[in-house]
């Protein structure tokens, strides 16, 4: 029987495309490297550990094993590099209280991200109950790749407030133009300057105007926007940065659930609880850019919204590359040089 990895690689009509992008392949392989490296380390310490072979784990393992041995080693080394720090931050990783206390390590399904869980690798105990999670990033720091489209109500999806009629009126000519281009079988390159003048600029303007319109009536929107981007669960972001030969660990301790002491161990590093923003200070085009708007919020938060076409062919929606340019200065961040 064909396994899930084979399905991904051979069946373009399945949920995933046949030729997954390099970013997806590398990201999944890094997730698997973290899970298996931590499992091996903790088992060496004599702890009860189960590496859960769910569908997501099998898929990630397939991508990992498809890389040459030397590339696998780079994933493993990056994962290994974080262990000392994480054990000092999260002593419950190595705290086994009784024979029934088993640490389960599993990978989340991609669908979990749509429901507010951005964690890729999850560490979970049941006796007693405890869990933490990692968002694993391989040479990128994007938080979301959301889309804008003719019928996509980003307001309802992102912050629980439906977009106004003014927004739908503003974007109608943009998507009418794209529909004509699709019928003519045009590529984005065929559109020439119209790609910027009739699509990117007006769509970003309509998007930013609607965000500010919602904010004017719903002052709680800044916090909800950040929660949409970083999820509803506290997590550690682990970024493999090959360009600088290092791994970065950030602790998004939103509700204080991270960094708990164990019965037989105290956290040696503190990860302060961070607060959500309460105000949008500025939301404007990035200087010298036709594709990006930057949002500055209070508390040190800053977000970049870069819009782009995800295919050479004109499509009925456009994709965002959303990144956190700034976060609260008290957020725990450690750079681990390899």
Q: What is the pLDDT of residue 135?
A: 94
pTM score, whole prediction: 0.84
**Preceding omega of 128 cis (within 30 degrees of 0):** yes
What sign has the CA pseudo-torsion 113, 119, 125, 131?
Answer: negative
In this structure, the number of other CB atoms found within 10 A of the CB of residue 104 comes to: 16
Q: What is the pLDDT of residue 98?
A: 87
DSSP-derived 3-state class of residue 269: coil
DSSP-derived 3-state class of residue 197: helix
Q: What is the pLDDT of residue 114?
A: 59
The domain spans of the chain are 4-138, 143-226+276-326
Q: What is the pLDDT of residue 263?
A: 81
Q: What is the pLDDT of residue 199?
A: 96
- The token duo for 31 is 């997730």
From first to last of the 338 residues of the chain, give the pLDDT tens digit.
344 444 444 443 343 343 347 888 999 999 999 999 999 999 999 999 999 999 999 999 999 999 999 999 999 999 999 999 999 999 999 998 888 899 999 999 876 555 678 999 999 999 889 999 999 999 888 788 899 999 999 999 999 999 999 999 999 999 999 999 999 999 999 999 999 999 999 999 999 999 999 999 999 999 999 999 998 898 999 999 999 999 999 999 987 889 999 887 899 989 999 889 999 999 999 999 999 999 999 999 999 999 998 788 999 999 999 999 999 999 999 999 87
* Residue 199 DSSP symbol: I
Quickly tell me which residue has 């990033």 as its tokens: 137
Among candidates 221, 230, 210, 229, which has minimal Cα distance to 298?
A: 221
Q: What is the pLDDT of residue 252?
A: 94
Give the orientation angle of helix 69-89 with respect to helix 22-44, to 10 degrees.
Answer: 60
Which residues, in sequence order, are bridge partners of residue 103? 49
Measured CA to CA, the distance from residue 275 to residue 273 in angstroms comes to 7
Q: What is the pLDDT of residue 257?
A: 87
Q: How far is CA 217 from CA 164, 209, 296, in A?
A: 12, 13, 19
Angle at the Cα of 209 (from 204 to 210), degrees rounded to 5? 100
Measured CA to CA, the distance from residue 173 to residue 179 in angstroms comes to 10
Contacts of 169 (CB under 8 A, 6+ apart): none
Measured CA to CA, the distance from residue 173 to residue 175 in angstroms comes to 6
Q: What is the pLDDT of residue 99?
A: 86
DSSP-derived 3-state class of residue 16: coil
Q: What is the pLDDT of residue 10?
A: 40
Q: How does strand 49-51 pair with strand 103-107?
A: parallel
Write out the DSSP string of 66-121.
TS-HHHHHHHHHHHHHHHHHHHHH-GGGG---STT--EEEEEPPHHHHHTT---SE
DSSP-derived 3-state class of residue 45: coil
């Amino acid at each position: 029987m064909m396994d899930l990895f084979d399905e991904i690689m051979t069946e373009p009509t399945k949920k995933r495309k046949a030729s997954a992008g390099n970013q997806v392949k590398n990201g999944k392989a890094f997730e698997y490297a973290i899970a298996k490296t931590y499992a091996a380390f903790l088992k060496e310490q004599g702890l009860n550990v189960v590496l859960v072979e769910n569908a997501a784990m099998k898929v990630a393992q397939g991508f990992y094993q498809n890389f040459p041995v030397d590339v696998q080693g780079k994933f493993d080394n990056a994962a290994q590099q974080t262990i000392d720090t994480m054990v000092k931050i999260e002593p419950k990783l190595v705290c086994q209280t009784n024979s029934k206390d088993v640490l389960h390590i599993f990978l989340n399904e991609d669908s979990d991200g749509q429901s507010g869980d951005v964690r890729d690798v999850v560490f979970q105990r049941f006796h007693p109950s405890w869990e933490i999670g990692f968002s694993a990033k391989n040479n990128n720091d994007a938080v979301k790749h959301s889309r804008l489209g003719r019928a996509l109500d980003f307001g309802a999806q992102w912050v629980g407030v439906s977009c106004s009629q003014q927004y739908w009126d503003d974007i109608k000519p943009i998507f009418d133009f794209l529909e004509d281009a699709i019928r003519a079988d045009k590529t984005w390159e065929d559109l020439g300057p119209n790609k910027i003048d009739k699509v990117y600029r007006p769509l970003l303007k309509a998007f930013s105007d609607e965000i500010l319109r919602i904010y004017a009536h719903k002052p709680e929107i800044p916090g909800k926007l950040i929660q949409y981007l970083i999820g509803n669960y506290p997590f550690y972001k682990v970024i493999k940065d090959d360009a600088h030969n290092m791994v970065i660990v950030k602790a998004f301790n939103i509700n204080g659930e991270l960094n708990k002491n164990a019965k037989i161990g105290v956290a040696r590093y503190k990860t302060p609880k961070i607060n959500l923003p309460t105000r949008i200070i500025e939301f404007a085009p990035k200087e010298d850019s036709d594709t990006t708007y930057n949002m500055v919020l209070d508390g040190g938060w800053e977000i970049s919204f870069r819009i782009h076409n995800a295919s050479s062919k004109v499509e009925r929606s456009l994709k965002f590359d959303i990144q956190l340019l700034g976060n609260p200065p008290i957020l725990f961040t450690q750079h681990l040089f390899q």
